[in-house]
Structure 1
């Protein structure tokens, strides 16, 4: 598929949820008057991190700005229909606001939840700390053995239709004049401290004023095409959908065991997984499910934590990838320190979906005004990579 023009003010490489959010916010900004092209290699999005994620959002982070990013995300999701409707039509996201439940298993884990809670509450997040007795009262399906504290999101946290979010951004952006093509960038031409053009697999060379790298697990490869580098690599995460002989009563949030193994309801089933603890960098085309991980870790841990899960059956499974930032588990956002018109949005480490509204808005502000005007996202800038100064996020699942 060929682009309709040979030159655009902004070229966005990667059209899943972060790229389409950037396109949406940029096209919606009345102060931006330029042209926008989004290049996406696969319009099915079947293997995008967006489609293969656990489709959740939380306010329980250790870093204040991550809390604020997700607070904006929740606000945007609640008003999604209003923001993206085209001719009165918009996807229904089905936001299940059941909260996250983080569990601590020792004194150290308790101290982490207490410290994070102070940060979260200072940002206005509605998070409640629960002693073991209170945990048992609110969540009677939970085995309290070894637990020292729980942290539960009363409002603003839950799960929703990830593809609906992406498609809403994409459809609205296109209605506002953003052009999308299905192709792959195979070459980036750089002259000194500027990117001047990209060349696609389809053989088209396209000049650009600004290049935005939102290509997920291929973000590192895209940077290297421009002679740049980022500490980001693909890490595999397998997810399993199970049926349970005895459904859990009452409200069930996304529950994270002290080991990092988690589950949440998925309709009449339950979705289970863990953070990418074992895999080193993997091939971004490797989508093999780690079934042994379920049998050896996920199921034994959750069956002990939730006795009803002793009798479960896997009904579906898939593997996706984190674009994992090895420096500090946070996104790298904004311009390269030397190549100012190459903008990163890479290394979300599993947080890209929930952070996409704020990141798209931030990229729009950078491109239009040269600075952030709402949330100050500058701590995520590339300069910390150069200085080797991590901006750590501890709450990674």
Structure 2
């Protein structure tokens, strides 16, 4: 079935950081002179995963392509002022991740560390004595080792990066409209256009699904399916007067329990993946305060006794677009519908991988192939084959 309405060479469904990065990268290519439309259902981004994330970047993955994607990502963030926007300010704090392991996790940490070094990451191995010397406030009795990112890891202002991509994509010629996609139209093995809930229609040459937690819904409009659903993640900001001096030297600490914490201004932020029986598909944004009381605070105290007296001063909930297959992204065209491209299921990695994925999508649209990082390992075929690419470091 055809569709009437204004024609765009590329329509991107989802105007978050992935969608806007794709638009910016594509429109900056010398070999692409088409028209790009970005459709975002809520330009306030109130419930956008990017704006509600812990806003960090790391090299400490177990999958080589994830390491390489974040390698490009950190260089991109470092050079934002030079390459993207001279007024850019994302408050990048390159203080590193510190991933800790008990004796049971030492072999996995060793394997991951070797993989990271082999792919150019600047990660230091630390024995318990070295950890205690560098971080005297840390309890290390149960630890076997830790890995710390000397460079290339840290945190930044996620909302600012999103707005920079959005603004600069518009300056390069992208049209960005607010609206919710209600239908995708297909003619045989091609998507021919989109319909919005308000009745507007646009025809297209290519569709990129960058709809975040709504990715499965969008895919189904084209008669396709992906194993992606929203999973709620709660973030807590806490104050600890007895730990004020820790702020200056504290990295993003990843505890063996899955708990994380890092500085946020004069305070700290923290979170943890909920227990499996409390971590199903979720669309609400209600903060689960029992997570902090029952799991997070005891874990904080176990790792640092100076966190005995803490006060939660803010909290919020956001969503991961969680890939049920393997917690890795699904990127690239559908085998049966080659002009429908996925950029979905990042499972918490989307913000830090947005520069690399945006570049990759630009390459696919303009040339039909990857030119820099080969992301074919994240293609849809593995979903069809039920062949997961496991990422061991999911936070």
TM value normalised by structure 2: 0.97
Q: 307, 318, 321: which is aligned to 2:319? A: 321
Paired residue for 1:263? Answer: 261
Paired residue for 1:361? Answer: 359
Q: How far apart are residue 276 of structure 1 and its match?
A: 4.5
Counterpart CA distance in 2 for 1:210 and 1:201 is 20
Q: CA-to-partner distance for each residue in 1:268-321, whole Å, 9 max, x for gaps?
A: 00000013443444343x000010011000111111111111111000000000
Q: How does 1:219-258 map to 2 (within 5 A)?
A: 219-246=215-242, 247-249=244-246, 250-258=248-256
Q: Please tell me whether the aligned partners of residues 41 and 180 of structure 2 are also in contact (alpha carbons under 8 angstroms).
A: yes
Paired residue for 1:211? Answer: 207
Q: Please tell me whether the aligned partners of residues 237 and 322 of structure 1 are also in contact (alpha carbons under 8 angstroms).
A: yes
Counterpart CA distance in 1 for 2:317 and 2:266 is 21
Paired residue for 2:140? Answer: 144
Counterpart CA distance in 2 for 1:302 and 1:272 is 9
Q: 325, 339, 342: which is aligned to 1:341? A: 339
Q: CA-to-partner distance for each residue in 1:95-142, whole Å, 9 max, x for gaps?
A: 101100011012x31111110000000111110111000000001110
Paired residue for 2:281? Answer: 282
Moved over 2 A (4+): 275-284
Q: Please tell me whether the aligned partners of residues 217 and 322 of structure 1 are also in contact (alpha carbons under 8 angstroms).
A: yes
Counterpart CA distance in 2 for 1:197 and 1:163 is 30
Paired residue for 2:20? Answer: 20
Paired residue for 2:79? Answer: 79
Q: How far apart are residue 83 of structure 1 and its match?
A: 2.1
Structure 2 SS opposite 1:340: strand
Q: Does 1:181 align with 2:174?
A: no
Structure 1 SS opposite 2:286: coil
Q: Does 1:93 align with 2:106?
A: no
| Greater mean deviation of Cα atoms: 323-332 or 247-256 | 247-256
Structure 2 SS opposite 1:69: helix
Q: Does 1:163 align with 2:159?
A: yes
Q: 1:79 to 1:334 in 2, by over 3 A?
A: same
Paired residue for 1:46? Answer: 46
Q: How far apart are residue 322 of structure 1 and its match?
A: 0.5
Q: How does 1:299-310 map to 2 (within 5 A)?
A: 299-310=297-308
| Greater mean deviation of Cα atoms: 250-259 or 316-325 | 250-259
Q: How many residues are paired up?
A: 388
Counterpart CA distance in 2 for 1:372 and 1:231 is 24
Point out where structure 1 has 5 or more consecutive residues left out of the alignment.
none
Q: Please tell me whether the aligned partners of residues 332 and 381 of structure 1 are also in contact (alpha carbons under 8 angstroms).
A: yes
Q: Please tell me whether the aligned partners of residues 130 and 150 of structure 1 are also in contact (alpha carbons under 8 angstroms).
A: yes
Counterpart CA distance in 2 for 1:164 and 1:175 is 16
Paired residue for 1:60? Answer: 60
Q: How far apart are residue 175 of structure 1 and its match?
A: 0.4
Q: 1:288 to 1:254 in 2, by over 3 A?
A: same
Paired residue for 2:122? Answer: 126
Counterpart CA distance in 1 for 2:245 and 2:258 is 20
Structure 1 SS opposite 2:9: strand
Q: CA RMSD in A?
A: 1.0
Q: Please tell me whether the aligned partners of residues 274 and 291 of structure 2 are also in contact (alpha carbons under 8 angstroms).
A: no
Counterpart CA distance in 2 for 1:223 and 1:80 is 32
TM value normalised by structure 1: 0.96
Q: 1:277 to 1:357 in 2, by over 3 A?
A: farther
Counterpart CA distance in 1 for 2:366 and 2:273 is 36
| Greater mean deviation of Cα atoms: 247-256 or 32-41 | 247-256
Structure 2 SS opposite 1:341: strand
Counterpart CA distance in 2 for 1:277 and 1:343 is 33
Counterpart CA distance in 2 for 1:45 and 1:30 is 31
Paired residue for 2:131? Answer: 135
Counterpart CA distance in 2 for 1:357 and 1:276 is 29
Q: Does 1:36 align with 2:36?
A: yes
Paired residue for 1:102? Answer: 99
Structure 1 SS opposite 2:337: coil
